[in-house]
């Protein structure tokens, strides 16, 4: 008897292939469910015997199949045990099981280093000063849902540039809808002796920027919008369309679930093509594992983290080791 191996990711497809290629004379000797690595994709391997079979051989084949099914059941049970261990590791780290599988951070003694390596390869941190602009002033537009702290974050960035880099900035707000928004921006500007301008209608932005000749950076504070309202996001973009160059920066609250962050990002990204990111209110989050997972999965360049209300002190410019330490993965 000639023994042949047939492989496929789907058991029914494998059986159909045997029937097409070898006909009714083919006997299934064994079915094996395999993985290339733990928690990797599964596939089925069928051992096929080719020759005219006797009744005795048919009985032997049936017994072999029954044994194969028992081994398959045992393998599934063992996998369930591994899944339970994965649940424990997910609760322990705050990362989803999906990310742990992608990172191959299986429940072993080396899972921490494996996860560190995976996140180190995925996360990217940049300084605002390192971003190349072709135009002057350098326009940075802060975007995000209502209440994520865009106004305060703009003030922190401007304060950092002024105090630490001796670089002047200006503020432009288009948030004339939220009560006290313009006044809050003006208070920050007055405290740092930085100019503040208000844009009340689209197509006024270029004229307003001309009033800020000494500003190296201009931070544009936008209206907080429900990300699901694409029409409202498009209205914000209308204020910016006449500008030759500007970068959008998405701000999201560290206390959000990963799924909430992902949805917000997808909506804003449809309109603004988001590349840069700031994680806000880190001090209010129980942990930031979900946020770090979101950052890793979307390839965003993180400019900063904010961790309090003090301007400009509560602003962090993290590197990979800082962030890994925040999620319990320090060396």
Q: What secondary structure does DSSP assign to 36-85, as a single string?
A: SSTTS-EEEEEEEEESPPPHHHHHHHHHHHHHHHHHHHHHHHHHHHHHHH
Q: Which residue has the higher pLDDT, 138 or 231?
A: 138
CA distance 77 to 66: 17
- pLDDT interval class at 80 (50, 70, 90): very low
Q: Which residue has the higher pLDDT, 80 or 292?
A: 292
Q: Are 277 and 247 in contact (CB under 8 A)?
A: no
Q: Which residue has the higher pLDDT, 112 or 206?
A: 206
**What is the reported pTM?**
0.72
Question: pLDDT tens digit string along 224-272?
Answer: 877 778 888 998 999 999 899 999 999 999 999 999 999 999 999 999 9
Locate all alpha helices (DSSP H) within 149-306, ordered by sequence.
150-165, 181-192, 205-209, 230-238, 258-272, 289-298
> 170 burial class (0-12, 13-18, 19+ CB within 10 angstroms)?
buried
Residue 6's pLDDT is 78
- pLDDT interval class at 74 (50, 70, 90): low
Q: Are 227 and 267 in contact (CB under 8 A)?
A: yes
Shortest CA distance to 153 belongs to which of 240, 238, 221, 203? 221
Q: Of 30-44, 64-78, 281-295, which has the strongest mean pLDDT?
A: 281-295
Residue 275's pLDDT is 96
Question: What is the rounded average pLDDT of the residues 75-88?
Answer: 56
Strands 217-221 and 196-198: unpaired
**Lowest-pLDDT range of 17-31, 63-77, 85-99, 108-122:** 63-77
Residue 11's pLDDT is 76
| Residue 45 β-bridge partners | 7, 32
Residue 216's pLDDT is 96
Q: Are 283 and 308 in contact (CB under 8 A)?
A: yes
CA distance 323 to 292: 8
Is the bond preceding 312 in cis, omega lying within 30 degrees of 0?
Answer: yes
**Lowest-pLDDT range of 42-51, 152-161, 302-311:** 42-51
| Residue 27 β-bridge partners | 49
Q: Are 219 and 249 in contact (CB under 8 A)?
A: no
Question: What is the rounded average pLDDT of the residues 195-201?
Answer: 92
Average pLDDT over the chain, rounded to whole?
A: 84
CA distance 237 to 165: 30
Centre a 10 Å sphere on the Cβ of residue 249 and count the other Cβ atoms it contains. 28
pLDDT of 19 over the 70 cut: yes
pLDDT of 222 over the 80 cut: yes
Residue 60's pLDDT is 63
The set of residues, in sequence order, having a beta carbon less than 8 Å from that of 223 and lying 6+ positions away, is 174, 175, 177, 178, 232, 236
pLDDT of 291 over the 80 cut: yes
Question: What is the rounded average pLDDT of the residues 9-17?
Answer: 79
**Lowest-pLDDT range of 89-93, 104-108, 278-282:** 104-108
Q: What size, in residues, is the chain?
A: 331
Residue 73's pLDDT is 54
CA distance 240 to 248: 10
- pLDDT interval class at 182 (50, 70, 90): confident
Residue 79's pLDDT is 44
Q: Which residue has the higher pLDDT, 73 or 272?
A: 272
Q: In a 3-state reduction of DSSP, which class is residue 245?
A: coil
Question: pLDDT tens digit string along 261-280?
Answer: 999 999 999 999 999 999 99
* Domains of the chain as residue ranges with CATH: 2-79 (3.30.1660), 124-326 (3.40.50.300)
Residue 179's pLDDT is 64
Residue 75's pLDDT is 53
Question: What is the rounded average pLDDT of the residues 55-68?
Answer: 63
């Amino acid at each position: 008897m000639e023994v042949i191996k047939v492989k496929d990711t789907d058991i029914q497809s494998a059986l159909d292939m045997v029937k097409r290629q070898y006909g009714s004379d083919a006997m299934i000797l064994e079915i094996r469910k395999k993985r290339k690595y733990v928690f990797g994709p599964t596939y089925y391997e069928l051992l096929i015997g080719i020759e005219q079979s006797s009744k005795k051989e048919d009985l032997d084949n049936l017994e072999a199949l029954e044994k194969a099914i028992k081994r398959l059941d045992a393998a599934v049970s063992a996998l369930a045990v591994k899944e339970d261990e994965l649940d424990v590791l997910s609760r322990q780290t705050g990362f989803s099981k999906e990310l742990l599988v992608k990172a191959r951070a299986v429940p072993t003694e080396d899972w921490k280093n494996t996860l560190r390596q995976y996140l180190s390869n995925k996360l990217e941190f940049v300084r605002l000063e390192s971003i190349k602009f072709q135009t002057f002033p350098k326009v940075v537009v802060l975007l995000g849902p209502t209440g994520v702290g865009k106004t305060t974050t703009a003030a922190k960035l401007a304060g950092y540039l002024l105090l630490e880099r001796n670089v002047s900035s200006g503020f432009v707000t288009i948030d004339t809808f939220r009560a006290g928004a313009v006044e809050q921006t003006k208070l920050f500007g007055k405290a740092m002796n930085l100019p503040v301008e208000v844009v009340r209608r689209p197509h006024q932005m270029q004229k307003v920027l001309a009033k800020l000749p000494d500003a190296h950076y201009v931070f544009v504070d936008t209206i907080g919008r429900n990300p699901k309202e694409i029409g409202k996001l498009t209205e914000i973009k209308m204020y910016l369309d006449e500008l030759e160059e500007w970068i959008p920066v998405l701000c999201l609250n560290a206390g959000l679930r990963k799924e909430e962050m992902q949805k917000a990002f997808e909506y804003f990204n449809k309109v603004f093509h988001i590349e840069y990111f700031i994680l806000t209110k880190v001090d209010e989050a129980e942990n930031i594992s979900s946020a770090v997972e979101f950052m890793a999965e979307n390839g965003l360049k993180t400019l900063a983290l904010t961790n309090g209300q003090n301007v400009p002190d509560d602003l962090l410019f993290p590197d990979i080791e800082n962030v890994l330490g925040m999620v319990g993965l320090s060396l």
